[in-house]
Amino acid sequence: MNKTAVKSLQRILREAEAYSGEIDGLRGPLTNGAVDSMIEARGDEFPDGTERWSARRRAVACLQRGALDREIDAGPVDGLWGPQTEFAADALATLFETGAPPPDWRDQPVLDVNPNDWPRESVLEESFGSPCEARLVQVPCPWTLSLAWDLRQTTEHIGCHERVAESLRRVLQRVYDHYGEERLRELRLNRYGGCYNCRRKRGGSSWSTHAWGVAIDWDPDQNKLRWGRDRARLARPEYEAWWQFWEEEGWVSLGRARNFDWMHVQAAKL
């Protein structure tokens, strides 16, 4: 639990009249004691055996319970810190900071323009040639990328189809100007999941857009193929600008358009 999450926990405990200490984000004896009081007072709303969990796990369970009380989906009250709990913790922080839950960013319209005339996925060969034969261009990335499958390896370039290179370069520059190196790292947008890959679609027989080098994956660990916006990190409001820069160039986020494979963005229309 980070400091912000502990502060939210302390506010939950205070509102439950279990805690009268400071909202300081430090989980000390007072906070831990209040966690135990809340679990005891509402025993039937916690799983059996909660009282035998570690102090940290009990604290996370109270945070989850507090989120559910406020109609924020924290998943099951299991005391485990996964992506769903992290999402709930972010929403709680917004709620306590602003008095309202995060705006309904799920309903924000996807920008559907096509200034580069990207082809439809079904007719990629007409525009981009045969799969697995793309002429690749190395586009420099303004921030340092780490390979998602081996974070010790870094790269300064993305190798993509020559036809999308200029557009990609513009997107990367806008992203960099907006977020800056440090924020990009915090948002895990330095975790590069690859572009060109001569392969078919996962769970399908047609060629993947990666086979032309016109698709890029970002932070695959936190945006798994089958995850929807309730779990995928790239679905969060702090990535709104990120997606806007891609969509202004006509790129398509499968997450935004279809709510799966949030890691993936492509220069091809659906």
Q: Which candidate, 198, 217, 195, 193, places its Cα nearest to that of 133?
A: 198
**Total residues interacting with Zn ion, rule: CB under 5 A:** 3
**Shortest CB 184 distance to Zn ion, Å:** 19
Q: Closer CB to Zn ion, residue 6 or residue 214?
A: 214
**Cβ neighbours for 127, distance < 8 A, ≥ 6 positions apart:** 118, 119, 163
Q: Closer CB to Zn ion, residue 57 or residue 224?
A: 224
Residues 224-263 that bind Zn ion (CB under 5 A): none
**Shortest CB 199 distance to Zn ion, Å:** 10
Q: Closer CB to Zn ion, residue 79 or residue 250?
A: 250
Distance (Å, whole) CA 99 – CA 180: 29
Chain mean position to CA 218? 9
Q: Closer CB to Zn ion, residue 187 or residue 215?
A: 215
The encoded tokens of residue 85 equal: 């709990």
Please report the beta strands in 163-207, taking only residues with DSSP state E, as ranges in sequence order.
Answer: 191-194
Contact string 178-217 vs Zn ion (x = CB under 5 A):
-------------------------------------x-x
Q: Which of 165, 264, 267, 268 binds Zn ion (CB under 5 A)?
A: 264
φ, ψ dihedrals at 137, nearest 5°: -120, 140
Distance (Å, whole) CA 243 – CA 245: 5
**Shortest CB 19 distance to Zn ion, Å:** 45
Summarize as ranges the residues that interact with Zn ion (CB under 5 A). Answer: 215, 217, 264
